[in-house]
Amino acid sequence: MITIPCPYCGPRNTSEFRYVGEQGSRPDPNRTTPAEWRSYLYTQSNEAGWVAETWWHGSGCRRYLIVERHTVTNEVRTIQPSAVHPRHCLRHEADSGEELTAERDPA
């Protein structure tokens, strides 16, 4: 089983998480059509390659995390708390940029 490098908890088994779905934006509920809305609900593009998806760390910090994962090799390229300003983006590689520290409010 693969591990997900949670920015708060460190690399943890996927059994601690729930896979929520591919990253997509919620259509405007007042302007959407049935086709568009249902595509948002049910259709996954399911690509072989880098995808952005949401995982929820249910047995850990209970944060929603947007993960960039390669669906063939299961490498994780980036991971960030959901809906956080891009400057909080975490790179997973060793020579990465910013790290989330205790002082900074992640939400």
- Bridge pairing between strands 50-56 and 18-22: antiparallel
Alpha-helix runs per DSSP H in 1-107 = 34-42
Q: How far is the CB of 27 from other proteins (least distance, A)?
A: 8
CA angle 33, 41, 57 (to 5 degrees): 145
Q: How far is the CB of 87 from other proteins (least distance, A)?
A: 14
Q: Is 97 in the site for other proteins (CB under 8 A)?
A: no
Beta strands (DSSP E) in 1-63 are 3-6, 10-13, 18-22, 50-56
Contact 52, 68 (CB under 8 A): yes
Q: Which of residues 61-80 bind other proteins (CB under 8 A)?
A: 62-64, 74
Q: Which of residues 17-56 bind other proteins (CB under 8 A)?
A: 20, 26, 29-30, 32, 34, 37, 41, 54, 56
List interacting residues with other proteins (CB under 8 A): 1-3, 5, 7-11, 13, 20, 26, 29-30, 32, 34, 37, 41, 54, 56, 58, 62-64, 74, 81-84, 92, 94, 96, 99-102, 107
